[in-house]
Amino acid sequence: MLRLRHIQYFVTASEQGSFRKAAALLHIQESAVSRRIRDLEDRLGASLFHRHPGGVSLTVAGQRFLRRVRVALQQIELGFNDVAAIGRSEDGIIKVGIFSSLASGFLFELMKTLDDEHPRVAVELIEGNPSVHVAAVRQLQLDVAFITGTSEWPDCEREQLWSERVFAVLPTEHGLATKQTLHWDDLAGENFIVSNAAPGPEIYDYLIQRLAGLGHHPNIHPHYVGRDVLLSMVAIGRGLTLTSEATTGAQIPGIVYRPIMGEVLPFSAIWSRRNDNPACRRFLSLARILSQTDRRAVRQADAVMNPPASPSQNRDLSP
């Protein structure tokens, strides 16, 4: 059977002009080089070298064969380099299912970090609802999906990475726009609009759950529009809607964002344990590092805003 080492011995011998020098360079016995090249000549049915006391020289067949194998070896080397680059996450492509906006927040920072540290890794973003994303992850059509919630999905790995506040989107002239923070009671009786595309159906269910729990039946109108058009519809007074914190980075004339007290959405990464894409593994590693950094920043901010009481403040001042 013709093996790669037969070609290696042949090329080295042709470059050195000697089986002895080729063997020394390859750190093997001269007899091994001579035997493998003889096997190669027998396999090809043609002599590749003229043997003479001072060494060897290529025959016409050997010269032609050398030109061909050098091209083949170059392609093999390129193949090795390509695969090695993927293994080091220098190259590759990641297919990512998203549910949140990239206008700001965690996903924005994650994509920016990936582009800074691994500029040759391509990212393909796909919007969709969680169930569709998870099905695609199971079928290895998506490498990873970022969705809301902390539910476990069969045949998938899950890790919570970040959280976002929930905001009501209001026209600038709306009466509630004067408030800096809203409660669900403030929103009872309001008209809402949502998109039929993701994450519209999830927002619809979210509104039903929250407002129905207060004894209100919300008036919700779905529309076949995208997120930007929906926000513009809010601006002209067609209704209110909800969005996550990352979306508030998108400034649309005529609207304001107001956080809803106590409402926080956790976001998790979902991927398949069968996924062997090295670029995806690096991507998840970056996401974990960024998540840990964000959590430390939040704890430090909390410590600044809510410092521990001093001993004098804790002292019992009663007579």
Confidence (pLDDT) at 248: 87
- Residue 155's CB: how many other CB atoms inside 10 A? 10
Specify the pLDDT at position 261: 94
pLDDT band at 297 (very low <50, low <70, confident <90, very high): low
Q: Are strands 219-223 and 191-195 parallel, antiparallel or unpaired?
A: parallel
Q: What is the pLDDT of residues 220-237, one digit of tens each?
A: 888 888 888 889 999 999
What is the model's pLDDT at position 318?
40
Q: Exposure pattern of 90-125 as b/e (b: 16+ CB <10 Å)?
A: bbbebbbbbbbbbbbbbbebbbebbeeebeebebee
Residue length, the chain?
A: 319
Q: Is the pLDDT of residue 191 over 70?
A: yes
Q: At which residue do the structure tokens 């909390």 appear?
A: 302
pTM of the model: 0.62
What are the pLDDT digits (tens) for 21-65? Answer: 999 999 999 999 999 999 999 988 999 999 998 899 999 999 999
Q: In the prediction, which pLDDT does 133 show?
A: 92
For residue 315, the model assigns a pLDDT of: 44
Nearest to residue 294, comparing CAs of 165, 166, 162? Answer: 162
Query: How distant, in Å, are the alpha carbons of 129, 143, 178 from that of 160?
Result: 17, 16, 34
Average pLDDT, the chain: 85
Task: Report whether pLDDT(168) > 90.
Answer: yes
Q: Are 234 and 169 in contact (CB under 8 A)?
A: yes
